[in-house]
Chain A
Amino acid sequence: MELRSFIFRRLIQVVVIFFIIQTALFLLFRLAPGDPVERMVDPTMTPEDADRLVAVLGLDQPLWTQYAIYLRNFFQGEFGTSFYYGQPVVEIIWEKLPNTILLFTTSIILSALVGIALGKIAAWHKGSRTDTWLTIGSLVTHTVFLPWLALLLIWVFAYKLGWFPITGMISEDVWLDPGAGLWAKALDIGHHLVLPLSTLFLIHFGSSLLVMRSSMLDTLKEDYILTARAKGLTDKEVRNRHAARNAALPVVTGVGLGLAFSINGGALTETVFTWPGIGRELVFAVSHADYPLAQAAFLLIALVVLVANVIVDVLYAYLDPRIRY
């Protein structure tokens, strides 16, 4: 029950922080050098249309009024129209969001699980060759320049070996084929997912591994590990039931904190692989001065990070009974 009130309080925090981010974003877009009208109104519009849009967005009004209009539009779900697509921003977001969620959640969960499993092994065999290679390997993949890694994977596995498609998320011939079932389509997406997922996985699993390794080394010094051994448990039971479970807790925190930093990697990955997600849309919107779309994408990313942190907090409270908020 205390957990429920904790979640409630955290959600209120999220609302407040989101509101602050929203305000900051509003100011950033208005304070940027240049004419706000120029940024918010599609340059290809007819002068009449442009004037109407200026009136709707209140761009001829003082800043406070503009802010009020901005908030009102937000609550009405009105994010404007993309310059580039000429389509409501909301529609574009809804279309791309699931793709990003698919790529992101899979890579985050997979890298955390693999990082925990390998970090456990590295710590258990501390100082061994396995430990050395795992540590060096995770440091290398963690620090490598992401676009380079992505291009390397494309070059080797898509171009040279031809195992995976070079770009995109679906193959048109599969999706246009009326005979293709759900399974074939899912398989097709999975096929396209391998390389971008591997890129994000390789970049991220190292930090989980290193955190898990050092956390596990600390945990192994704990007295309850000695108790577990004294009870006659085998090494494997001590390691998995008592050490790893407790050592994994900081990894959960690390993943939550690292989420915000993994956004840019996600955007780069989506761009390199032309994965039709929010991150790529964001890069695209910024480079094409598609301000309405960029603004909405920024807001969405902020929201995702905030909610993910709440999830991590709740998960943490569930994993560690000492944490009660």
Chain B
Amino acid sequence: MNARTAGTGNRNSEAEDLLEVEDLSVGYRTKRGFMRAVDGISFSLKKGRSLGLVGESGCGKTTVGMTLMGLLPPNGEVRGGRILFKGEDLVQKTEEEMQRLRWNEIAMIFQAAMNALNPVQRVEKQIAEAILTHAPDLPEEEALRRVEGLFQMVNLPGERMHDYPHQYSGGMKQRAIIAMALACNPDLIIADEPTTALDVIVQHQILEEIKALQDDLGISLIFISHDISIVADVSHDIGVMYAGQLVEYGSREEVFGDPRHYYTRALLASYPTLAGEKRDLVPIPGETPSLVAPPSGCRFCDRCDAAAEACSLERPDWLEISPTHRVLCARCLSS
């Protein structure tokens, strides 16, 4: 915890941005060429706020998370842009600097359905390992006591911390993973599809807990999901991603109350809702464009109802609907 306050000085007033992503481009070298998984996205996140990144599979949302953690696979590469975290550019940091930063300042909540926990180690050991990695002088008993406290925070019975992951249910695993993410009191947590594998009831409980913990601890959260209803539930701000680009960005109320991009509208129309009037679900026709050779104009125009001829030729510009709401569409004002 000391490292956290000492490292950067006290520049974090309430209004200060914890994280500023500027024109970030990330891709993967593949046999077919360089795949631009993330193409020039920008957003910022204030302390204690939560941002939901939503989009279909392959839109680049997970790549954004991995880039923030500095955990791109060997063929991944940041091609441009900056990631300012507490004023320091993470893109420029060395692997060693990133190792010190990981988990201590930016932690991650993985999907429980993945083998995010090592199957042959006790859960307590894995969480204590995270603590001890960043506080090597801490006695192990003290680390284990902290693990017990973390278990309480996420409503897991303390005695189960001695178990192995396979002795847990899916919901318990997810709670343990959240406990692990909180282990070093990070400033930012990236939650990548944290509830996707859980049944609806457990999913709801976990989401409520994440929200409550985020409020209590004042942690900033980036919530990545393909499920727009979940994102709506936990996030203050929403970023809609499509084919490697951010296409709409604004507060939850703005994006869901007044969706401007046709993709956002289509996405909302394709999801069922319990509240509100009954309506037909509308699937989005077509496929996402190739990210190796993306189209020069709007990337959604092939699937867009309102596309005009110019849409496929000219790269759309950002339009400000309000100071906090912007959209990457040339025709969103015409309707």
A226 touches B102 (CB 8 A): no
A321 touches B120 (CB 8 A): yes
- Chain B 163-187, CB-CB to A under 8 Å as 1, else 0, gives 0101000000000000010000000
Q: Does A229 contact B (CB under 8 A)?
A: yes
Nearest-Cβ distance from residue B27 to partner chain A, whole angstroms: 19
B118 touches A242 (CB 8 A): yes
Q: Which residues of A contact B118 (CB under 8 A)?
A: 224, 227-228, 242, 246
**B71 with A224: CB separation less than 8 A:** no
Say yes or no for A38: interface residue by CB 8 A criterion: no
Q: Is the CB of B71 within 8 A of A226?
A: yes
Task: For A227, list chain B residues within 8 Å (CB).
Answer: 108, 110, 116-118, 126, 180
Note all chain A residues with C-beta closer than 8 A to B166: 321-322
Residues from chain A with a CB closer than 8 A to the CB of B110 are 223, 226-227, 230
Contacts of A311 in B (CB 8 A): none
What is the distance, in angstroms, from A3's C-beta to the closest C-beta of chain B?
15
Contact B116 A232 (CB under 8 A): no
Contact A232-B100, Cβ < 8 Å, known A222-B115, A322-B166: yes
Instruction: Verify if A191 is at the interface (C-beta below 8 Å from B).
Output: no
Distance between Cα atoms of A291 and B1 in the complex (Å): 76
A320 and chain B: residue at smallest CB distance: B120
| Residue B69 CB within 8 A of the other chain | yes
Q: How far is the CA of A224 from the CA of B121 in the complex (A)?
A: 11
Instruction: State the Cβ distance, B216 to closest chain A Cβ, in Å.
Output: 23
Which residues in window 99-124 of B have CB below 8 A to A?
Answer: 99-104, 107-108, 110, 114-121
Closest CB-CB distance, B67 to chain A, in whole Å? Answer: 13
B129 is an interface residue with CB less than 8 A from chain A:
yes
- Measured between C-beta atoms, what is the minimum distance from B96 to chain A in Å? 8
A side interface size, CB within 8 A: 22
B102: A residues at CB distance < 8 A: 229-232
Min CB distance B234 to A, Å, is 21
CB pair A245 B99 closer than 8 Å: no
- Asked if B120 and A246 sit within 8 Å, CB to CB, the answer is yes
- B172: shortest Cβ distance to chain A, in Å? 16
B71 and A230 within 8 A (CB): yes
Asked if B57 CB lies within 8 Å of chain A CBs, one says no
A23 to B23 CA separation, bound complex (whole angstroms): 78
B78 at the interface (CB under 8 A from A): no
Could you tell me the distance between the alpha carbons of A314 and B120 in the complex, rounded to whole angstroms? 15
Q: Is B133 positioned at the interface, with any CB of A under 8 Å from its CB?
A: yes
- Distance between Cα atoms of A227 and B103 in the complex (Å): 10
Residue of B with least CB distance to A224: B118
Given the complex, which residues of A lie within 8 Å of B108, measured CB to CB? Answer: 227, 230
Chain A residues positioned under 8 Å from B126 (CB to CB)? 227
B120 close to A229 (CB less than 8 A):
no
Is A319's CB within 8 Å of the partner chain B?
yes
- Taking CB atoms and an 8 Å cut-off, the chain B residues in 132-180 that contact chain A are 133-134, 164, 166, 180
In the complex, the answer to whether B114 meets A230 with C-beta atoms within 8 Å is: no
B330: CB under 8 A from chain A? no
Given A222-B115, A322-B166, verify A231-B130 contact (CB < 8 Å): yes
Tell me which of B117, B118, B121, B129 has the highest count of chain A C-beta atoms within 10 A of its own C-beta.
Answer: B118
Cβ contacts under 8 Å, B115 to chain A? 222-224
Q: Which residues on A sit within 8 Å (CB–CB) of B133?
A: 231-233, 237
A-chain residues with CB within 8 Å of residue B164 when the two chains form the complex: 321-322
Task: Beyond A232-B100, A232-B130, list 7 extra A-B contacts (CB 8 Å).
Answer: A227-B116, A227-B126, A234-B99, A237-B133, A246-B118, A249-B120, A321-B164
What residues make up the interface of A, taking CB atoms closer than 8 Å to B?
222-224, 226-234, 237, 241-242, 245-246, 249, 319-322
